């Protein structure tokens, strides 16, 4: 897996990441969602440089110009719930992509810190030979992404997978590196050092799904 750690180079991206982390600013859920979306737009631009292009001519009122367009069929596949604003950011740029939505949540069968990932809702087009952009803002243990990948494979083997995430832990990155194909790319805004005993990224930002859409029972 190739890891692209975008916040390593200073840019306006750092401000958007700081705002989703900040305990005061993150309480504004409209701003939180929009910041995730803006980060999705920046990551889209970065990953667009890695795709294959073909030239085609564009007719202007005054002449013709050869232009490079993305060659492949893209599918944006997002993990509910927290993936939704990131999905919108990707779709703002890759506006002719197909779309997939998959649910994944942590189920605590014994009401303690141990959990398993449950994948229930799955709506996706055929994926065979396509480029899948797999979006989830939080990459903590990596278990949700791996469970989603197992479900995605039933719709055909993509030619390439580009995972798009906002905050990842090094542990989670190592785990998905072991469980995704070698030619996978990870486009990650920023990487944090650790996980706490509940599997939350530290310092992270807390619960991205709750911050975007409110607490759930």
Ligand X SMILES: O=P(O)(O)OC[C@H]1O[C@H](OP(=O)(O)OP(=O)(O)O)[C@H](O)[C@@H]1O
Ligand Y SMILES: O=c1cc[nH]c(=O)[nH]1
Residues making contact with ligand Y (CB under 6 A) = 82, 138, 140, 200-201, 204, 207-209
Query: According to CB under 6 A, which residues from 94 to 123 bind ligand X?
Result: 104-106, 117
Judged by beta carbon distances under 5 to 8 A according to partner kind, the member of ligand Y, Mg ion, ligand X, none in contact with residue 19 is none
Place of tokens 């927290």: 82
Region from 35-43, 49-57, 64-72, 206-214 binding ligand X, contact rule CB under 6 A: 206-214
Give the closest residue to 201 by CA, choosing from 113, 108, 139: 139
Could you say which of 29, 81, 99, 119 contacts ligand X (CB under 6 A)? 81
Name which of 70 and 119 has its Cβ closer to Mg ion: 119
Q: How far is the CB of 48 from ligand Y (least distance, A)?
A: 26
Could you say which of 89, 142, 158, 204 contacts ligand X (CB under 6 A)? 142
- Exposed / middle / buried, residue 69 (Cβ in 10 Å: 0-12, 13-18, 19+): exposed
Could you say which of 35, 44, 88, 141 contacts ligand X (CB under 6 A)? 141
39 binds ligand X (CB under 6 A): no
- What DSSP string runs through the chain? -EEEEGGGS-STHHHHHHHHH-TTGGG-HHHHHHHHHHHHHHHHHHHHTTS-EEEEEEE-SS-EEEEEEE-SPEEEEEEETTHHHHHHHHHHHSTT-EEEEEE-EEE-TTSSS--EEE---EE----TTPEEEEE-SEESSSHHHHHHHHHHGGG---SEEEEEEEEEEHHHHHHHHHHS-TT-EEEEEEEESEE-TTS-EESS-S-HHHHHH----
Name which of 93 and 200 has its Cβ closer to Mg ion: 200
Could you say which of 207, 214, 215, 217 contacts Mg ion (CB under 5 A)? 207
Could you say which of 138, 164, 189, 205 contacts ligand X (CB under 6 A)? 138
172 binds Mg ion (CB under 5 A): no
In the bound state, the residue with its beta carbon closest to Mg ion is 209
Q: How far is the CB of 85 from ligand X (least distance, A)?
A: 11
Kindly list the residues in this chain that would bind Mg ion in the complex (CB under 5 A). 207, 209
Residues that bind ligand X (CB under 6 A): 79, 81-82, 104-106, 117, 136-144, 172, 199, 207-210
């Amino acid at each position: 897996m190739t890891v692209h750690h975008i916040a390593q180079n200073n840019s306006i991206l750092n401000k958007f990441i700081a705002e989703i982390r900040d305990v005061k600013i993150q309480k504004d859920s409209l701003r939180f969602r929009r910041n995730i979306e803006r980060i999705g737009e920046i990551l889209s631009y970065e990953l667009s440089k890695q795709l294959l292009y073909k030239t085609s001519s564009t007719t202007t009122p005054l002449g013709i110009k050869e232009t490079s367009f993305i060659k492949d069929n893209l599918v944006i596949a997002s993990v509910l719930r927290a993936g939704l604003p990131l999905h919108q950011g990707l779709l703002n740029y890759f506006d002719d992509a197909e779309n997939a939505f998959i649910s994944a949540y942590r189920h605590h069968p014994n009401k303690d810190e141990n959990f398993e990932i449950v994948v229930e809702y799955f709506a996706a087009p055929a994926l065979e030979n396509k480029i899948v952009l797999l979006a989830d803002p939080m990459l903590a243990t990596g278990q949700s992404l791996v469970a989603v990948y197992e479900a995605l494979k039933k719709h055909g083997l993509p030619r390439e997978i580009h995972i798009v995430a906002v905050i990842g832990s090094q542990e989670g990155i190592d785990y998905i590196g072991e469980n995704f194909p070698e030619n996978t790319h990870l486009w990650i805004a920023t990487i944090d050092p650790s996980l706490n005993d509940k599997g939350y990224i530290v310092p992270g930002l807390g619960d991205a799904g709750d911050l975007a859409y409110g607490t759930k029972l």
